[in-house]
Structure 1
Amino acid sequence: MFSSTILSLPFLVTLSSAIVQSPVQGPLKGFNYNPQDDAATLFPLVQSSLPKIGASGFTSARLYTALDPNNTTNPVPHPAFKVAGDTNTSVLIGLAVSLGDASFQNELTALTAILKDKSGTYGKLLSRNLIVGISVGNEDFYRQSLQGTPMAANQGAGSKSAVIIKQINAVRKLLSQQSPSLATKIPVGHSDTWRMWTNKDYGLQLLKAQPDQDDFAPIDFVGMQEFTYWEGYAIQNFTAYSTEALAAVKAAAGNIPVWATETGWPVKGPKCCNGPPADSGMPGQLAWPGKEEAQIYWKGVGCDTLFGGEGGGTGAEVRNTWWYRIFASTAKSGDGAQDWDVLGSAKSGDGGATAAFDLDCKAVAPSAPTPTAVKSSSKSAGSVLRVEVWWSVVPLLVVGVLGAVERLFV
């Protein structure tokens, strides 16, 4: 079990005297990568091929774990870290924290190896100034709030805020023990859904001053995860991202930076869900997947807001952003992960990448399309109408014909 001992006051003052700033110059643009993704192909492809299809400047990667999932005997770092160093890709290191104390200790062991790497075995990320920050956990509050709901076996049951705070302190202690100390060099935070950051029992606990931590908040950044699609907002209402979700998290976070650690729109998949929340003030429409919808979201939320207004938007927030997602290398990359791919294909070499939709931030977004199912239902309704009209006309035709025949014999 990781230590829950209260850290010494001098140590906490050192950690919390100010919000730790990332050593990597931002704002950063990148993508989320699942443990099974092929970083050796994707990292160089993103940097070399994406600019050729209209999306430049994506030089960062967010990883959900520090551990190599293919090495079950030793807790060693994921091979993606070596690729990151070789391709000058900055990383937001994620630690899986809801799988038990032994698993969390393994995460710390792998993190230590990354921090101490001098030979380049794991990319020499520290000396190359490529560590953006450390996210202690991913949607652990969200999963905890869904207790009793079946979750994937590799996600854990979530965690309460007190546990996450102890784990954050354990990471800070590890950083302070390095020589020289990294306590003020690498920001530490947590990533969760936007509603959890406004919940008094979860995210707000990480945002308020802690009496045993010299009255400083435990985190240096807020990792905000928001998919307006999963909330049932039609694509026409993509502005709910900034007007509702981001606005609420910023208000809760105060002077703590808010990073967009996950957002996106699927190009295929099911409709969702029952329309937007009743108190949102948005029209009661369903969210539909599609390439046109994904492009509208990329343009409106990505280009015109999070990436810094490259498309000419006036409401740019300009913040570190990791989009969900670039390309699911295998079916194991996550349930339905391929439905969210920004790329249509991803192969090494020039011309190997094709975009699932137009990624050029200077391009004009298409008009919101009519959902496919609506088109289909309209077509079906039209067919039914034509049949009904036809059958209503048939009796009249029959009567007319009989009448004409009758007159011939009169």
Structure 2
Amino acid sequence: MKFPTLALALAAAFTGADAYWKGFNNQANNVDGSCKSQAEYENDFNTMKSLPGYFTSMRLYASSDCNQLANAVPAALATGGQILVGIWTEDDDHYAAEKQALLSVVQTYGFDWMVAVSVGSEDLYRGDAPAWRIAQQIYDVRGMLSIQTGYSSNVQVGHVDTWTAWVDPNNEVVIQACDWVGTDGYPYYQGTYDNGIDNAYNLFWDSVYQVRDVVNAAHPGAWVWVTETGWPTAGASVNNAVPSIENAQAYWSQTICSSFAHGHTFVYVLQDGGDLPFGVVDSNFNPVYNLAC
């Protein structure tokens, strides 16, 4: 496997769980809908570092929207943080803007702030693009970094999707294009299973191992990362899955902590911005529950 230069340095410096990337998904927008500034990204990085476990990595979904990378990369460099880059793949003009935003920041700042690049997010699950198209875009972004920067040998390029999309044999071409595969798994949403908090650990790891088996068969050597998982603190129940602070705490302690110890893991989400409250910090950036492992 090929790692960014910074990843190699960290892997050499730490052992066990400390050698894995661990962090949070993060939004381009503040809770009020405004675009985040560099200073606000710096606050996000510093908030993560202040949490138990000392998190330094965040996953972003896009690169050009809200000048996301242009603001987040200098914030990462200022705070010692790293970014799992997202390239939004829908719409040709948007995709071109995403690529240009990534190219601009690597030409300006280099690569030491970068964890890896994800080309797309849950496109296969949503049915927004055929598998061959996502694979083509992965090769395209890797080629751009190689031809125009000469650094492709140090950058991993992959794709993030739901575990159910990865185990679909129709999507094998995407796995074959990836250096790494990001899997999203939420036992809370698995409404056809016994998905209560008491069985969440089993459901989560069953999904991860199913993806690992498929990836090992289609592309031996490609790593499987957990790129989204979490449990909401409020909202509607899904079958046996009940949102609550108590259950979110239990999911963190039992499942997320175990994922940190066994592979690269990005939790959904640092601070709320979606339909359900998954955020681990509140509007004042204080932990919603105990985040110690």
- Report the TM-score when normalising by structure 1: 0.62
Identity rate, percent: 31
Q: Does 1:191 align with 2:153?
A: no
Would the aligned equivalents of 2:186 and 2:204 in 1 still touch at CA under 8 Å?
A: no
Q: Give runs of ≥4 in structure 1 deviating > 3 Å.
A: none
1:172 to 118, 142, 146: 142
C-alpha distance in structure 1 between counterparts of 2:120 and 2:250, whole Å:
30
Would the aligned equivalents of 2:167 and 2:214 in 1 still touch at CA under 8 Å?
A: yes
Q: 1:262 to 1:358 in 2, by over 3 A?
A: same
Q: Does 1:288 align with 2:232?
A: no
1:58 to 38, 55, 72: 55
C-alpha distance in structure 2 between counterparts of 1:161 and 1:220, whole Å:
16
Q: 1:239 to 1:45 in 2, by over 3 A?
A: closer
C-alpha distance in structure 2 between counterparts of 1:190 and 1:125, whole Å:
22
Q: 1:289 to 1:242 in 2, by over 3 A?
A: closer
Q: 1:235 to 1:125 in 2, by over 3 A?
A: farther
C-alpha distance in structure 1 between counterparts of 2:231 and 2:44, whole Å:
20
Q: 1:93 to 1:243 in 2, by over 3 A?
A: closer
Structure with more contact order per residue of length (Cα contacts < 8 Å, sep ≥ 6): 2
SS in 2 for 1:31: strand
Q: Does 1:270 align with 2:224?
A: no
C-alpha distance in structure 1 between counterparts of 2:207 and 2:199, whole Å:
12
Q: Does 1:250 align with 2:212?
A: yes
Q: Which runs of 5+ in 1 are unaligned?
A: 1-18, 118-123, 145-157, 208-216, 275-285, 309-317, 347-352, 362-410
Q: Which runs of 5+ in 2 are unaligned?
A: 11-18, 31-39
Query: 2:118 matched to which residue of 1?
Result: 135
Would the aligned equivalents of 1:345 and 1:354 in 2 still touch at CA under 8 Å?
A: yes
Would the aligned equivalents of 1:345 and 1:355 in 2 still touch at CA under 8 Å?
A: no
* 2:25 alignment partner AA: N
Would the aligned equivalents of 1:262 and 1:321 in 2 still touch at CA under 8 Å?
A: yes
Larger Rg: 1
SS in 2 for 1:32: strand
The structure where helix makes up a greater share of residues is: 2
Query: Aligned-pair distance for 1:103?
Result: 0.6
C-alpha distance in structure 2 between counterparts of 1:306 and 1:206, whole Å:
24
Q: Does 1:115 align with 2:97?
A: no
Q: How many residues align?
A: 266
C-alpha distance in structure 2 between counterparts of 1:226 and 1:237, whole Å:
14
Query: 1:30 matched to which residue of 2?
Result: 23
Would the aligned equivalents of 2:64 and 2:97 in 1 still touch at CA under 8 Å?
A: yes
Q: Does 1:103 align with 2:94?
A: yes
SS in 1 for 2:255: helix
* 1:227 alignment partner AA: Y
Query: 1:401 matched to which residue of 2?
Result: none
1:93 to 74, 85, 89: 85
* 2:224 alignment partner AA: V
2:174 to 203, 206, 212: 206
Would the aligned equivalents of 2:83 and 2:114 in 1 still touch at CA under 8 Å?
A: yes
Q: Does 1:21 align with 2:12?
A: no
SS in 2 for 1:103: helix
- Report the TM-score when normalising by structure 2: 0.86
SS in 2 for 1:201: helix
1:79 to 43, 68, 71: 71
Query: 2:14 matched to which residue of 1?
Result: none
Q: Does 1:356 align with 2:288?
A: yes
Would the aligned equivalents of 1:241 and 1:301 in 2 still touch at CA under 8 Å?
A: no
SS in 1 for 2:189: coil
- The one-character-per-residue Cα deviations of 1:156-206 (angstroms, maximum 9, x if unpaired) are xx2111110111111011111134x1121100000000010000122x222
Query: Aligned-pair distance for 1:344?
Result: 3.0
Q: 1:113 to 1:192 in 2, by over 3 A?
A: same
